[in-house]
């Protein structure tokens, strides 16, 4: 099978994240923007929830955009870790585990609205859990659970002071089996490598962490793969059979 270069933005929030542009960050708007930017693969990663993933997947049917199930989990140490799952079943299993370990109830007027939508951008409910809060899970437990449920564990925006693993812990523990690190849109990967030399040990992705439609694609990663699937992403991170992570936007 021939290899092709694709664009991937693997960190996009929806109306479910309290800090998002609630009424504009809808399933259809996300797919429309991704298609316009020729993003072949995106991952929907709301804070501590994957409950809007299926709506975006259904909105993307026939669009050519592959939507991977994801979640941005906040560990007890307030480190953000992305879980990007092969299958919805795994993402749901992770959700059940996160639900059991996420204390607190949302106050929309204080923390923001957490809106569940369907593929037609219709509001179907809201989430009462405090998604903006931290779980009681240590960062090791988060990474271990992501792997247990068939996901890739990626440390979010490692160059950021707040909620980035280096900013929160001071370093990246050698024992942590992360599959990749994410550099934020605010810094290029060469800049990040220069500033944080230790990160060069891991594959580096760069994603938008979009909270509004305009932010989608403000950073992306080019991947050399045979097609836009989770399995191919995993091979690219491991550098298997010619698959690899190329430069970013």
Query: Nearest distance from residue 124's CB to Zn ion, in Å?
Result: 23
Q: Which residue is nearest to Zn ion (CB)?
A: 80
- If the CB atoms of residues 159 and 232 are measured against Zn ion, the closer one turns out to be 159
Number of chain positions touching Zn ion (CB under 5 A): 5
- The residue within the footprint of Zn ion, chosen from 106, 156, 184, 208 (CB under 5 A), is 156
Query: Nearest distance from residue 1's CB to Zn ion, in Å?
Result: 33
CA 173 centroid distance within chain: 21
- If the CB atoms of residues 54 and 72 are measured against Zn ion, the closer one turns out to be 72
From the list 55-63, 192-200, 202-210, 217-225, the region that binds Zn ion by CB under 5 A is: 202-210
- If the CB atoms of residues 11 and 40 are measured against Zn ion, the closer one turns out to be 11
From the list 68-76, 89-97, 99-107, 125-133, the region that binds Zn ion by CB under 5 A is: 68-76
Query: Nearest distance from residue 153's CB to Zn ion, in Å?
Result: 14
Query: Nearest distance from residue 62's CB to Zn ion, in Å?
Result: 27
Distance between start and end Cα atoms, the chain: 26
Q: Do 138 and 169 meet the contact criterion of CB atoms below 8 Å apart?
A: no
Q: Determine if 160 is a binding residue for Zn ion (CB under 5 A).
A: no
Q: Which residues of 147-183 are buried (b: 16+ CB within 10 A; e: fewer)?
A: eebbbbbbbbbbbbeebbbbebbeebeeebebbbbbb
- The residue within the footprint of Zn ion, chosen from 21, 46, 54, 72 (CB under 5 A), is 72
C-alpha–C-alpha distance, residues 43 and 165, integer Å:
20
Q: How many CB atoms are closer than 10 A to CB 116?
A: 17
**Residue that is written with structure tokens 């409950």 in the block:** 51
Query: Nearest distance from residue 157's CB to Zn ion, in Å?
Result: 6
- The residue within the footprint of Zn ion, chosen from 7, 40, 80, 234 (CB under 5 A), is 80
Closest Cα partner for 211 from 137, 134, 132, 102?
A: 132
User: Which residues are near Zn ion by CB under 5 A?
Assistant: 72, 80, 156, 163, 209
């Amino acid at each position: 099978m021939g290899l092709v270069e694709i664009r991937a933005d693997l960190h996009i929030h929806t109306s479910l994240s309290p800090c998002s542009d609630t009424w504009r960050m809808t399933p259809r708007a996300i797919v429309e923007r991704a298609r316009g930017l020729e993003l072949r693969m995106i991952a929907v990663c709301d804070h501590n929830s994957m409950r809007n993933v299926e709506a975006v997947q259904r909105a993307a049917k026939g669009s050519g955009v592959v939507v991977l199930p994801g979640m941005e989990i906040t560990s007890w140490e307030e480190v953000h870790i992305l879980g990007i799952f092969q299958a919805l079943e795994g993402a749901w299993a992770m959700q059940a585990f996160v639900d059991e370990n996420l204390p607190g109830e949302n106050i929309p007027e204080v923390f923001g609205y957490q809106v569940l939508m369907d593929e037609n951008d219709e509001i179907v409910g809201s989430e009462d859990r405090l998604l903006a809060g931290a779980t009681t899970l240590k960062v090791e437990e988060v990474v271990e659970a992501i792997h247990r449920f068939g996901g890739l564990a990626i440390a979010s925006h490692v160059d950021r002071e707040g909620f980035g693993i280096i900013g929160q812990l001071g370093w990246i523990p050698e024992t942590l089996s992360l599959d990749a690190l994410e550099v934020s849109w605010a810094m290029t990967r060469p800049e990040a490598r220069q500033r944080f030399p230790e990160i060069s040990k891991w594959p580096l992705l760069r994603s938008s962490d979009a909270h509004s439609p305009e932010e989608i694609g403000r950073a992306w990663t080019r991947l050399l793969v045979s097609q836009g699937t989770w399995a191919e992403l995993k091979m690219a991170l491991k550098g298997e059979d010619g698959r690899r992570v190329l430069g970013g936007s």
